[in-house]
Copies of this chain bind each other. A is one copy, B any other.
């Protein structure tokens, strides 16, 4: 069997190329210059090709050396990651209650990434209506809830303000009177705020469609049944129209995260909360 590459030799190689000198690389790695020289010769023996041009002014990589370099750097990076992360994965269970607008966003992806880093842990993301979410929280099924502040089942640990924007289907005439709107059927606090903004702007409206799911709302908007107030990241590209001056200005929504008190000190819940805080 052919000899394996050696990570220590790859490290010597990468260090020498970066330093432009075997002597400086040796110094940096806490070894003697002849030791590095011999290691690099051994690496060239394994690869079967010269990897370095050597001269009294130092070393430069050969063409083969340039080809090996990205592999070497990748292997060193994976090796370091393997050492720091193996055996340090979190375990346990964490239930997260998210407003559906948020569940459809990249927050879910961030949580999926977190779950992938900690295969011993289970994350459960739930999008429930007000009463069901409150019950899930009170019974401990969800440990974190991120929702509009008036809708969360306890005092928020932190809050953040997010803008809303109008979602408008193609072929939709925004001057239509009364203005058809598409709404979430669940009672969310900003539905009221949006309708009040319409009233204040003197713009009459009618409910053209209601759905309890974001997909339903998006389908209705897409079909041109009306306009909807959504978070910007949930809009399909064709819905982000620019002729919204005819529509009332939308309020911001204040989101808050509530955490089930018994989870204090739980490292998994800590990690999930940090990820949500970072991504929101």
Do residues B5 and A79 form an inter-chain contact, with CB atoms below 8 A?
Answer: yes
Q: Which residues of B contact A11 (CB under 8 A)?
A: 4
Do residues A2 and B83 form an inter-chain contact, with CB atoms below 8 A?
Answer: yes
Do residues B49 and A86 form an inter-chain contact, with CB atoms below 8 A?
Answer: yes
Q: Does A64 contact B (CB under 8 A)?
A: yes
Interface of A is mostly: helix
Q: Does A262 contact B (CB under 8 A)?
A: no
Q: Which residues of B contact A47 (CB under 8 A)?
A: 82-83, 86-87
Do residues A71 and B86 form an inter-chain contact, with CB atoms below 8 A?
Answer: yes
A67 touches which one: B5, B48, B119 (CB < 8 A)?
B119
Q: Which residues of B contact A249 (CB under 8 A)?
A: none
Residue numbers of A with Cβ under 8 A of B are 1-2, 4-8, 11, 29-30, 46-49, 63-64, 66-68, 71-72, 74-75, 78-79, 81-83, 85-87, 89, 119-120
Copies of this chain present = 2
CB distance from A32 to the nearest CB of B (A): 15
Q: Which residues of B contact A4 (CB under 8 A)?
A: 6-8, 11, 79
Contact A82:B63 (CB < 8 A) given known A4-B7, A7-B6, A87-B49: no
User: Complex: how many Å from CA A226 to CA B7?
Assistant: 61
Give the interface centre of A8, A29, A67, A72 by most chain B CB atoms within 10 Å.
Answer: A67
A75 touches which one: B8, B29, B64, B79 (CB < 8 A)?
B79
Q: Which residues of B contact A66 (CB under 8 A)?
A: 119
Do residues A86 and B74 form an inter-chain contact, with CB atoms below 8 A?
Answer: no
With A63-B87, A66-B119 already in contact, 13 other A-B pairs whose C-beta atoms are closer than 8 Å? A1-B29, A1-B30, A5-B7, A5-B79, A6-B7, A7-B7, A47-B83, A63-B89, A64-B86, A67-B86, A68-B86, A72-B82, A75-B79
